[in-house]
Structure 1
């Protein structure tokens, strides 16, 4: 099987790693095999839209470099967590938290989605800049064959057990990938309410950010 080709802009960022970048005043190191937060506009758009909310506790799922966690903490979220299954990303995020001491403490956890997060910790806001589609061959920046529909559905199924009633999930998508991988479609399959916060055409693709409201039972 021929490996799925990497988008040229993505490959350009990978070839530069490790490198340093400043985004919105946050000083970040992007280590080798860590997803670049400065690829396109998705991460910065998510950071901006996350400012609409006033959570007590927020989670940057699939945190990569930790940019979104740092952005939420700097915006004033009292308690911020970051989680990633990719060891290189966890190490990178921890490094970047230490490199921005003025932002404040962030708890960075190695976890397969919610699996290794404390069960008694519930989040009011979760941002997840997930792999938009499945990869082929060896994982790149921790993005493997479970990208797209598979990881999106697993995240959305698990989320209600780890969030507060009324919690918000923010997820992104680009129609470079097939529509069945879009979080809004998967969320609607599960009966969740979905609102499109952003739809913009750039990079020769339609790009979206969705607000998803999971159904949280009163009794676990």
Structure 2
């Protein structure tokens, strides 16, 4: 959709006045996405009102892919691209990959775009499941609705080679400190990690060994401060661990691996 320099400048001024830091870039994305002048005006109004840019556009750029993101669905963060890179390094062609708590399905999509895999995903939120099904359709991804492992078909038990779970890890008392775009427009269930931020992580780790193959990997994103505790939780359930970080992205990933021949610790029932 083409606009005049004057119209574009007016858009930028409105976005900048509403404290959009990258006003010119956002205006360009809106113009590139909108179909007509009326849609441009509507999108600018919604962005100025505080709606996340990705919800205004209807998509987020993640690992070079345009990922559909509907209102009420967690917006994939650029720092999480590091988790994908770490997972791709150990994902063989034909691997069974599970994106647990998938949101838009961005992690699964990025893995499938880089490897030929058997792709599965699950999320508790109906809006996220609908969104993920659209995003993963081109890779024939199967998306299930339910609470963590309880959503999955039993035949996946013990078959997963790579488990990605970008669990919420913000401590409950710190949600009020998040930017309004996240705090007001994303479901709190996708942000709230409980008192210490690790409540959902503990549930995922407790069930992971039942679903992973021997040599299978679990990848989660944590804060730098939480990572050692998350690794200790994994080791308590019989997983060997590795912590990696990317300073440029401000990202920290914890990997837990099932060591073949090593007895897995019993956890709570999956799901």
Structure 2 length normalisation: TM-score?
0.63
Q: Quickly say closer, same or farther: Cα 1:73–1:179, change in 2 above 3 A.
A: closer
* SS at 1:161 equivalent: helix
* Match of residue 210 from structure 1: 254
1:152 counterpart = 2:222: no
* SS at 1:33 equivalent: coil
Q: Which segment drifts farther, 139-148 or 74-83?
A: 139-148
* SS at 2:150 equivalent: coil
Unaligned runs of 5+ in 1: 1-7
- Residues 149 and 186, structure 1, Cα contact 8 Å, conserved in 2: no
Higher relative contact order (CA 8 A, sep 6+): 1
More strand by share: 1
1:72-91 deviation per Cα after TM superposition (whole angstroms, max 9, x unaligned): 11222320111111222111
Distance 1:73 1:153 in 2: 27
Structure 1 length normalisation: TM-score?
0.76
1:141-195 deviation per Cα after TM superposition (whole angstroms, max 9, x unaligned): 33265543211111111111111111111111114xx638942132133342111
Q: Quickly say closer, same or farther: Cα 1:97–1:182, change in 2 above 3 A.
A: same
* Match of residue 118 from structure 1: 153
Unaligned runs of 5+ in 2: 1-19, 22-46, 176-182, 267-271
1:68 counterpart = 2:115: no
Larger-Rg structure: 2
- Residues 14 and 33, structure 1, Cα contact 8 Å, conserved in 2: no
* Match of residue 199 from structure 1: 245
More helix by share: 2
